[in-house]
Structures are given as structure tokens and as C-alpha cells.
């Protein structure tokens, strides 16, 4: 398993020096400043590689940009509207430029409108740490009473609708605005540039698009880009829906093992693969992460290792982002499944034996409160998570070597 760390670029409050001290082996990054649908030029790619290659004092970092997260897929591509064909051409050109720069693993997602959804970005835990949380009642209050999406109340149970009404009535204007801001934060691009009317406009574009059509649009997209990735020796890996259940009346097509299997079988190329995110998929109780790793393992090109605690057994329910070894997913069993997959790859002589992973998200602890880093990406909270995951990896490796001896 290859230890990587996400870096948002020169504005990130977590530095290359911090990553060096955390002991990571590679960097996950993206050109967030390049508009979606535009080509990533060789010059911009080289600039990011140069930044990653140097510490603050100019000394070589020894780190390289190894995984792209994300090369964004435009809403036009997802809906097959507007400039979608030109955007696919730009995506293909960007792949070629990334390949020329030596970058082979490309993470992307096919979530309509929202990249991820949380109702709280700094939920306080009993020990004083903070984390991100999704509260179903708060979300229903937003959907029904703040966004006022037509028909929203039909998407929730009667009990949730009633509770959401009481919750909304108890909120003051500042609390309502904060809730809306937290949810809008999951929109692609700069969160502050979106209004409720912008969200309504985005939703209207998907009004006639159901799951079957969106799934076919993803298959069409992959039919255009996966053969090129195969030719170049690159790996594409789709991130799951976050959370993995329907929101805002939007179709969700990457929430379960069956969803992934449908896409992998439809475009059956090794380059067409999976970003297995244990936090996103783990928010749904019928997703067994170790079993999913066993079933999809040969096409898993990238791993996000984080843990959530589900607060109910409902498919759509509240959850919070727990410590990496806490939560509802058996992280030891999941990593054991990853280690077994890597042994299979080694025996088969595959080139991609070591699967890159990153300690996804993390609770804010200690000096994280002063940094004000990107939501979910504190330095010390992720360092703690990486250390815990590294401990599991080391123990499993030693156990295997002991059995083999």
C-alpha cells in the first residue's frame, strides 16, 4: 500500500514540509484553479509538480504528484448537454498531458451537482475534537424549508418531515444561513459563489434525468476515455457517491457494489476502475467494505481510508466522521483484504502491485484549530489517522511474513 496525502496546492494551509514530516510517500493533487471543461496544459501540470518537489526552504522534498484527484467531469458531460462533446475532448487531451508528465492514476466522480454533502463541518465530539457530520433532519429542514425544492417532503418519511419542521422552526436566521453554507460547500468550485437560486438551476437540469440515463451517460463517457487510458497505461478510478443515497431528488449511480459492477462490466477494461472510499460507502449499512474490496479488488486503483459512525440502520441516515479506527467499518478487515489483493497482483506479475491510499479526512485536534485548513483535511488529524493505518499495515505484513517463515 502506497502512503499518499492530498494537497490542494499553494493555498493549502498544510504544507509540503508537513507532508514530509508525516512520512508520506506520494502526493494526491489537482489543478482546482483550472475551469471545469478546460484542458490541463503541460505548463500548469509542471508548475504543480515543481511545487510538490520542493520544501519551503527550496530543498528537494523527494515527493511527486502521483494521483490526480480530481480531473473534474463537467455537468454538461453528466447530462450530455451543452458543450459536453468538447469537454470530453478536453478531458482526453488532459489525460495525454498528464501521461506525458508521468502521472498514471486519475480519480474522478460522476455525482450530479454536489461533490459531497455535510450539514456540519465542525461537529464537536466529547473529547473536544471536531469532525464533519451529516444530519438527516437538518438536511430535510434545508431541502424542504430553506431550498423549498418542489416535492421535497415526499422524499422523506413522515417522521423525518415532522422533525425537520420542528428543527427549522427552532433555528434563527444565522443558524439557517450556516446550514445552507455548509451544504453549498459541497458544490464544485468556490462555495461562496453559489446561491440557493444557483442550486435550483442545477437541479432543474437533472429534472428529466433518472438513474438509468445518468448511468448510460457515464458508460458513454468511459467508452470515450477508458480506451485512451488503456492505450497510455493509465488508471481511471471513479469515486462513489457521498453520501451513497439519493439527495435533492438527484439520481445516484455509484453507491453500491452492484453500481460499480454494472459500470466495470459495461466498459470492461483494466483502466476502468474504482476509488474505494470506505467513508463514503461506509455511510450505507448494506455496504460491506471488506467484502467489496474482495469482490472489486482487481479493479481498485485508489483507496480513501476513513471511517464514519452511522447513527441509524436506515439506508439514508445520519452519520459523523469518526476516528480512522473507530466507526462502523472494520478497518483491520478492510486493510487485510487490500493486502491480500496486493499479494495476488504480485503473484500475477502486475505492474500496479502497490495500491495508493490516503488517510481521507480526519478530525480536527490539537493545533489543527489554528490552521483553518480545508474542511475535512486537518494536518494533525490526518497524521493521526495515517499513523493508525500504518500500524495496521505493519502488523499484517509481519503476520504474513511470520506465517510464511
**Rounded Cα distance, 259 and 244, in Å:** 11
Catalytic, out of 76, 242, 360, 368 = 360
108 is catalytic: no
The residues, any chain, with a CB within 8 Å of residue 42's CB and separated by 6 or more, are 97, 100, 101
Q: What is the CA radius of gyration of the chain?
A: 21
Query: Please, are residues 235 and 105 in contact by the beta-carbon 8 Å criterion?
Result: yes
Catalytic, out of 135, 242, 361, 368 = 361
107 is catalytic: no
Catalytic, out of 202, 277, 322, 324 = 277
Determine whether 404 is exposed, middle or buried from the number of CB atoms within 10 Å of its CB (0-12, 13-18, 19+): exposed
99 is catalytic: no
Catalytic, out of 108, 206, 260, 377 = 377
Catalytic, out of 239, 260, 324, 368 = 239
Catalytic, out of 87, 202, 301, 304 = 304
Distance of CA 382 to the CA centre of its chain: 15
Pairing of strands 120-124, 272-277: unpaired
* Residues paired with residue 305 on neighbouring β-strands, in sequence order: 359
Q: What is the residue whose three cell numbers read 424549508?
A: 145
- Which residue, among 394, 301, 280, has the nearest Cα to 356 in the 3D structure? 301
**Rounded Cα distance, 198 and 195, in Å:** 5
Q: What is the residue whose three cell numbers read 484527484?
A: 69
Cβ atoms within 10 Å of 401's Cβ, excluding its own = 9
Host H or E run for residue 223: helix 211-232
Query: Please, are residues 27 and 63 in contact by the beta-carbon 8 Å criterion?
Result: yes
- Is-cis flag, bond preceding 182, omega within 30? no
239 is catalytic: yes
Phi, psi values for residue 271, rounded to 5° = -70, -20
277 is catalytic: yes
Q: Which residues are catalytic?
A: 239, 277, 304, 360-361, 377
Amino acid at each position: 500500500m502506497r502512503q499518499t496525502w492530498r494537497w490542494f496546492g499553494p493555498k493549502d494551509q498544510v504544507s509540503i514540509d508537513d507532508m514530509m514530516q508525516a512520512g508520506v510517500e506520494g502526493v494526491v493533487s489537482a489543478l482546482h484553479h483550472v475551469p471545469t471543461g478546460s484542458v490541463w496544459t503541460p505548463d500548469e501540470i509542471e508548475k504543480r509538480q515543481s511545487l510538490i518537489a520542493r520544501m519551503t526552504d527550496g530543498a528537494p522534498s523527494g515527493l511527486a504528484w502521483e494521483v490526480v484527484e480530481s480531473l473534474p467531469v463537467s455537468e454538461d458531460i453528466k447530462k450530455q448537454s451543452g458543450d459536453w462533446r468538447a469537454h470530453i475532448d478536453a478531458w482526453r487531451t488532459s489525460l495525454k498531458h498528464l501521461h506525458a508528465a508521468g502521472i498514471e492514476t486519475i480519480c474522478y466522480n460522476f455525482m450530479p451537482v454536489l461533490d459531497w454533502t455535510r450539514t456540519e463541518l465542525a461537529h464537536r465530539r466529547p473529547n473536544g475534537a471536531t469532525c464533519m457530520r451529516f444530519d438527516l433532519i437538518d438536511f430535510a429542514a434545508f431541502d424542504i424549508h430553506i431550498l423549498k425544492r418542489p416535492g421535497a417532503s415526499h422524499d422523506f418519511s413522515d417522521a423525518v418531515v415532522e422533525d425537520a419542521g420542528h428543527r427549522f422552526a427552532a433555528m434563527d436566521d444565522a443558524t439557517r444561513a450556516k446550514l445552507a453554507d455548509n451544504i453549498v460547500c459541497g458544490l464544485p468550485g468556490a462555495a461562496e459563489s453559489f446561491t440557493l437560486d444557483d442550486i435550483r438551476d442545477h437541479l432543474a437540469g437533472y429534472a428529466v434525468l433518472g438513474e438509468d440515463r445518468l448511468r448510460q451517460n457515464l458508460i458513454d463517457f468511459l467508452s470515450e476515455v477508458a480506451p485512451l487510458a488503456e492505450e497510455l497505461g493509465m488508471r481511471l478510478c471513479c469515486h462513489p457517491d457521498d453520501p451513497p443515497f439519493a439527495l435533492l431528488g438527484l439520481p445516484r449511480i455509484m453507491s453500491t457494489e452492484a453500481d460499480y459492477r454494472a459500470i466495470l462490466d459495461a466498459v470492461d477494461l483494466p483502466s476502468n476502475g474504482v476509488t474505494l472510499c470506505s467513508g463514503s460507502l461506509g455511510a450505507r449499512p448494506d455496504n460491506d467494505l471488506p467484502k467489496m474490496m474482495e469482490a472489486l479488488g482487481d479493479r481498485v486503483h485508489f483507496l480513501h481510508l476513513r471511517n464514519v459512525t452511522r447513527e441509524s440502520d436506515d439506508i439514508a441516515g445520519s452519520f459523523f466522521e469518526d476516528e480512522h479506527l473507530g466507526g462502523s467499518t472494520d478497518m483491520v478487515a478492510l486493510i487485510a483484504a487490500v493486502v491480500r489483493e496486493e499479494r495476488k497482483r504480485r503473484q500475477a506479475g502486475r505492474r500496479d502491485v502497490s495500491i495508493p491510499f490516503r488517510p481521507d479526512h480526519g478530525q480536527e485536534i490539537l493545533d489543527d484549530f489554528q490552521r483553518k485548513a480545508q474542511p475535512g483535511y486537518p494536518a494533525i488529524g490526518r497524521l493521526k489517522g495515517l499513523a493508525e493505518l500504518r500500524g495496521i499495515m505493519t502488523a499484517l505484513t509481519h503476520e504474513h511474513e511470520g506465517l510464511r517463515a
